[in-house]
Amino acid sequence: MRAFSPDMKEVTFQGALDSHTPIAQGWLRVSHRKLNAALSLPYRPYHTHDEQQKLKPGEIYEVDVEVWPTCVVVPKNYRIALTVRGKDYEYPGGAGAGLETLGKVWTGVGPFRHDDPRDRPAAVFGGDVTLHTGPKRRAFVLLPVIPER
């Protein structure tokens, strides 16, 4: 989830480690889409991560991705956006300095990168991904409504 000022400049925040994080982030390897129905909530899917459900080309899969909770109130006339990508968020202002022990360069996700070629071989993860949405495939983002005081 990203925030933009009225002049469409991205607004980032100080994260736990990285100084240029978006409003919130969520990751899910689709082969780990299996949910635990007893632990999932309408606003928080709970993934079991106990088996790989490999994808088949041409098949369509329903996926619930948890976006980590946040407590940012976006000002009036600002915009929020959902960005879906097959790689980690990258701060458009360029990389920042990280820590020697956790990686020297950070791009908005701190040391929590998903770019190790042993875990993401291009032969498996380098293809195209199609998102399906429309009247028969409801896609949505669940956001809270903060009442006026």
Evaluate whether residue 36 is within a structural domain. no
pLDDT above 80 (res 94): no
Report the C-alpha gap between 110 and 27 in whole angstroms: 14
**pTM (two decimals):** 0.79
Question: pLDDT digit string (tens) for 6-43?
Answer: 999 999 988 878 888 899 888 898 999 999 999 999 88
Question: pLDDT digit string (tens) for 37-67?
Answer: 999 998 899 999 999 999 998 899 999 999 8
Evaluate whether residue 143 is within a structural domain. no
Q: Which residues pair with 97 in a beta bridge?
A: 105
Report the C-alpha gap between 112 and 89 in whole angstroms: 10
Mean local confidence (pLDDT), 124-144:
85
Evaluate whether residue 123 is within a structural domain. yes
Instruction: Decide: 103 and 111 in contact? Cβ < 8 Å.
Output: yes
| E strand intervals along 15-112 | 79-81, 96-99, 103-106
Evaluate whether residue 45 is within a structural domain. no
Residue 86 class from Cβ within 10 Å (0-12 exposed, 13-18 middle, 19+ buried)?
Answer: exposed
Instruction: Decide: 15 and 21 in contact? Cβ < 8 Å.
Output: yes
Question: pLDDT digit string (tens) for 66-80?
Answer: 988 888 888 999 999
Evaluate whether residue 97 is within a structural domain. yes
pLDDT above 80 (res 149): no
pLDDT given at position 63? 93
Evaluate whether residue 106 is within a structural domain. yes
Report the C-alpha gap between 23 and 73 in whole angstroms: 10
Evaluate whether residue 117 is within a structural domain. yes
Q: How many folded domains does the chain comprise?
A: 1
pLDDT given at position 4? 96
* Residues spanned by the domain of 104: 1-26+67-137
Evaluate whether residue 34 is within a structural domain. no
